[in-house]
A and B are shown apart, each in its own frame.
Chain A
Amino acid sequence: MSFKWIWTYIRPYGLIMLLGLVLVLITSGLAMVNPFMSGMIVDKVIEASQTHLLWSIIAVMVITTLVKSVGRYAYQLIFETVSQGVFKKIREDIYNKIQTLDFDFFNKNRTGDIMAKMTGDMEAVRHFIAWVIYMVFENATIFIFAVTMLFITNAPLALFMVAITPVTGFFAVRLAKEVKPTFFAIREQFSRLNTVVQENISGNRVVKAFAKEGYEIEKFERENEAYREKNVASAQVWSKFLPIIDALASSLMVAMILVGGILVINGSMSLGELVTFNGFLWALNNPMRMVGWLINDTQRFVASAEKVMGLLESEPKITPNEDAVQKDRIRGSVEFCHVGFSYGDEKVLEDISFTAEPGQTVAIIGPTGAGKSTLLNLICRFYDCTEGAIYIDGTDIRQMDLKLLRESIASAMQDVFLFSDTIEGNIAYGVPGATEEQIQWAAQMAGAHEFISTFEEGYDTIVGERGVGLSGGQKQRIALARALLKNPSILILDDTTSSVDSETEHRIHSSLKSYYRDKTTFIIAHRISSVKNADMILVLDEGRIIEQGTHDELLAQKGYYYSVFQNQFGDFDSFISKEVG
């Protein structure tokens, strides 16, 4: 299976690969020349004193070596080129795959594990193409050449020696069988090790905050030691077989001297033939020795290839609709129609219905874990709703072109993620071609321009992993600017100003008023001040809409919204009276 898979990648390089194999064939053939020439020098030049032949023999030796070494260099490069080509293609295929996989996949798979596949496993795959394939071929050709030569020299003895091959084959097969699971174990452990280290690095602040370095080291050492053990366990297996295979290869020598000797004594073989036999023995020996190593590397490849294939074969549940309704632009009317959603069997949203027209602002408020973010995730189709349907401009979003849908929506998510790139690059993330003016405009709208300008390198300041180097509120505003720059039809602001002080927040909201005009805007917030001016406020609790209306309507209802208002502003009246009085 792994071989079929890798073949589909190698096939485009078929021709050049063939050329490589031809070169292997030629150089293997040339490898037979020098031992032959050495014999010539002894037989002809020294014994027969044909000194004039010396120079030509040497010339032949030097030239064949030159040709051989150049040939070898050439095919090594050919195989490297092919393997790098294949390697690059697989890597890019994985990358593309990763980009199409949905949230569900990333909730279930750890970064460290995916990284393990893209580094360690890919390396095993590369090694296989770059090295194992030509080594197999090189050794096979040498072996075949040698066998042919031997048969020509003396068929009965040759037959006797080749008879050992099946025994070697038997052990080779056993090795392949027994060593395979150990390589699977190694790569599983590799992935675990990767995950532990990855998580430790990304959580380094928490580790230090609680002075838990000791605990982390303990955790790491467990995996580290296990990784060592898995490797040693694997070595236990192959170290059982490799010496046997090796000894079998050497036993050819024993067979040769015993059987060959008897044949010579019998007179059915000449001494010279035996010496020639001896000369070609290495060409029989070496390939047999290599069998064990090559099997090892191949099984390592199989273990890794299966992981890589697994990744390439994972299918997102959310797929771009092939026969999507074609549209140029989304206006932005959003309708939820009895929408229900559950993560697995945990119900999160139930019977959500509402309609938002372009230009309207819908605010969502509600307790922690009520399902607010989930609701907005459904609009972007990060998940598909499990009941009911969502319509945008009257079309079920599952019938729409996924790319168009996402291009028409911009969201500033609740857990802000910035890339380690310049501030400019981060703001322009959704619009890679944006001009400097546009970027500055977006930053201004998001209330970020001011602080960015105070930085030494301004918009070219590089932020660290996930936005390290910026304060919490600064990160949020960059993420907001990133969303604004996209100029979408639907804007989603999920708790975007939670780390921003009220003054700044107020400024941002007033400057955004004109921006909202032609867009459908969704705002999730806990502060009444952020949601108050919305055209419609949805109060979400345990996945249901429990109140719906404008600020004033909801206040009049004296329900959840009213009590939140009281909590936040209950002292307003007393405050005012104190101020006045």
Chain B
Amino acid sequence: MARNKYDVDEELDTPFNRQHMKRLLGYVQPYKKRMMMAVGLMLVSSIAGMATPYLLSVGIDVFIPQKNISGLVLLAFVLLVTLIITALCFRHRLVIMSDVGQSIIRDIRSDIFRKLQKLPFEYYDSRPHGKILVRVVNYVNSLSDLLSNGLVNMITDLFTLFVIIGYMLFLDPRLTLVSLAGLPPLVLAIFLVKGIQRKRTQAVSRKQSNLNAYIHESICGIKVTQAFAREEENFKIFRELSTEYRKTWMAYVRSIFIMWPIIENISVWAVSLVYVAGISLLGTGASVGILVAFVGYIWRFWTPIINLGNFYNALINSMAYLERIFETIDEVPKVDNLPSATEMPTIQGKVVFDNVTFSYDDGYPILKNMSFTIEKGQTVALVGPTGAGKTTVVNLLSRFYNVDSGKVLIDDVDISQVTLESLRKQMGIMLQDTFIFSGTIMDNIRYSRLDATDEEVIAAAKAVCAHEFISSLKDGYYTEVNERGTRLSVGQRQLISFARSLLADPRILILDEATSSIDTKTELALQQGLETLLKGRTSFVIAHRLSTIKNASVIFYIDRGRIIEAGTHEELMKKRGAYYNLYTAQYSFLEAV
């Protein structure tokens, strides 16, 4: 699997297409009614706004020459009314649009987050987590303006544009054609810079993602950094990423800002052309009044165009983020429920590996043709050198990864045919890397079964001998542990995550090095308590301290992805094979004395 790291750009898998736009509009769909209302409000206010020049001209042309002060007062009153109407429309539009915009953002974010919950380990294994984080939070945020005001403005601007063109056509079709002469060069210009803009915005989003990934990892690994006094070197790397980001950013703004001068200059050329043409046409039906009105409209005509240009910039800008967001939403989970998946019935506990071959990276099989059968209620110990594939075996059992070939069966049901949730709900897995959430100890243990009562939680803690230390804390079970449980010692973290797995009351219990950082005495005490709990349950135990697994119903010695020995402790000791050697290795230092 090609892993990504902070200084490697993520290339985009999905090419940009119109589909993205369509999908984006799909998010707008549920709010269509309110969007329409906002557009309506916008139109009312712009019509009211357009009345102003007219009212003004009435004042100047009619009332002032007539010296009609009461007429002026009336006029001012009417103006005031249009003004209030505009303000009211404006207010409602703001409220509606921020609400709609934020709702759309929420929906997109919700979709990407839900997708993330579906994506298997493999997705998280292959890229820095900081890069995933910014997609969910920052990228989605950057869409908010585009989707609320941007969209409504675009619709009204387009509308205004057509109204103005209508007016212009009404006034003089020939001059209209002349003034529209500015459009082709504009389109050409947009077309020319578009490609560059797109490339550069993508570059920005890539560099930003790299930078964020590095920041994220720097924060997570700060303790190591300080322990190794590596601050200066890290800063150098950071500065490099930061400089690179700035460089791409500047390149990006250079290409984005160029649209403005282009539009401005083309517009002034168009206006000039209209003047020249209008004046030469003066005799042939075009009057001064028309010309003046016309020019007035041309200036107005370019405002929405400039706005549209801005909208387009925002769109290009967001597109780079949108592509990333959709890429994540479209990610096909490598491990997913089959369409025909059924619920896993209550597990009795028979487990069969049937000729299982598995590799994390194609061509490098970790498990090779592994077959075994475990009867209901047995305790299975997996032992063997590190990196042999023990964790991998239990990973497959929970279907965190799919097997390449062969089958994993529980109670004779192929686990790839059942829903993931129904399968995993019946398993209690204690992962080799303990993970503690920020929150109270109580919540952490309860995580595996949210409806467990306090008493049940405490019982689980007691079973793993954690009760004593927990109650010695000032706030007991309500002690807030920090992110990843840094407030606790590593052994204590292990005990809590152990308790969590037990509380799940699983049909199959998997303990991957559950007690590796726990002292021998606690471990022994724990084991005695555990025996009663394990009764009737199938369990998998991985351990390097062999004293802990001596009583297992069956021990598999795994080496390089194969089971090379299987049997009880006594049987394997008699065999004097790999297990025997491993077992005696722990004594070897005694003899070395």
Contact = CB atoms under 8 A, between A and B. Distances in A.
Interface string A196-235: 0111111111111111110111001100110110011001
Interface stretch (B9-17, B78-86, B315-323, B410-418): B78-86
Given A66-B265, A99-B234, A80 B276 contact: no
A112 B593 CA distance: 52
B174 interface: no
B276 A47 contact: no
A411 B253 contact: no
Interface in B486-522: 486-493, 495, 497, 500, 504, 512-513, 516-522
Contacts of B517: 368, 414, 495, 498, 526
B348 interface: no
Given A110-B483, A275-B60, A414-B517, A532 B589 contact: yes
Nearest to A70: B261
Contact of B490 (A236, A240, A343, A415): A415
Interface stretch (A139-147, A331-339, A354-362, A563-571): A563-571
B463 to A, nearest CB: 15
A504 B519 contact: no
A503 B585 contact: yes
Contact of B521 (A345, A367, A422, A504): A367
Interface stretch (A17-25, A170-178, A260-268): A260-268
Q: Helix, strand, loop or mixed for chain B's interface?
A: helix
Interface string B457-477: 000000000000100011000
Contacts of B588: 506
B257 interface: yes
A210 B447 contact: yes
B242 A92 contact: yes
A243 interface: yes
B246 interface: yes
Contacts of B171: none
B153 interface: no
A98 B218 contact: yes
A119 B226 contact: no
Contacts of A421: 5-6
B362 to A, nearest CB: 10
A208 B120 contact: yes
A194 B265 CA distance: 44
By size class, the interface of chain B is 35 or more
Nearest to B144: A231
A229 B524 CA distance: 52
A451 interface: yes
B390 to A, nearest CB: 8
Contacts of B194: none
A266 to B, nearest CB: 9
A568 B295 contact: no
Interface string A361-398: 00001111100111000001010000000000000000
A200 B132 CA distance: 11
B250 interface: yes
B489 A369 contact: yes
Interface stretch (A298-306, A435-443, A463-471): A463-471
A418 to B, nearest CB: 8
A247 B87 contact: yes
A80 B252 CA distance: 11
A328 B280 CA distance: 89
Given A197-B136, A231-B102, A368-B492, A95 B235 contact: yes
B3 interface: yes
B279 interface: yes
B547 interface: yes
Contact of B225 (A99, A197, A343, A564): A99
Nearest to B5: A420
A529 B591 CA distance: 11
Interface stretch (B185-193, B369-377, B427-435): B427-435
A80 B250 contact: yes
A235 B3 contact: no
A87 B250 CA distance: 12
A123 B317 CA distance: 15
30 contacts: A54-B276, A54-B279, A72-B260, A76-B257, A99-B218, A103-B223, A107-B487, A110-B438, A111-B216, A111-B483, A220-B110, A224-B113, A232-B99, A235-B95, A243-B94, A265-B72, A275-B60, A406-B229, A409-B227, A413-B223, A413-B227, A464-B3, A499-B386, A499-B516, A501-B544, A527-B586, A532-B589, A567-B524, A568-B520, A572-B590
A500 interface: yes
8 A-B pairs closest in CB distance: A473-B386, A368-B491, A235-B98, A69-B261, A239-B94, A430-B228, A211-B424, A213-B117
A225 B581 CA distance: 59
Contacts of B164: none
B94 A238 contact: yes
Given A72-B261, A264-B64, A503-B385, A257 B218 contact: no
Contacts of B390: 471
B522 A367 contact: yes
Given A95-B215, A529-B589, A417 B224 contact: yes
A58 B261 contact: no
Contact of A471 (B391, B398, B516): B391
Contact of B518 (A118, A343, A368): A368
Contacts of A251: 80, 83
Interface in A250-281: 250-251, 253-254, 257-258, 261-262, 264-265, 271, 274-275, 278
B387 to A, nearest CB: 4
B482 A107 contact: yes
Interface in A546-578: 563-564, 567-569, 572, 575
Contacts of B520: 526, 564, 567-568
Contacts of A449: none
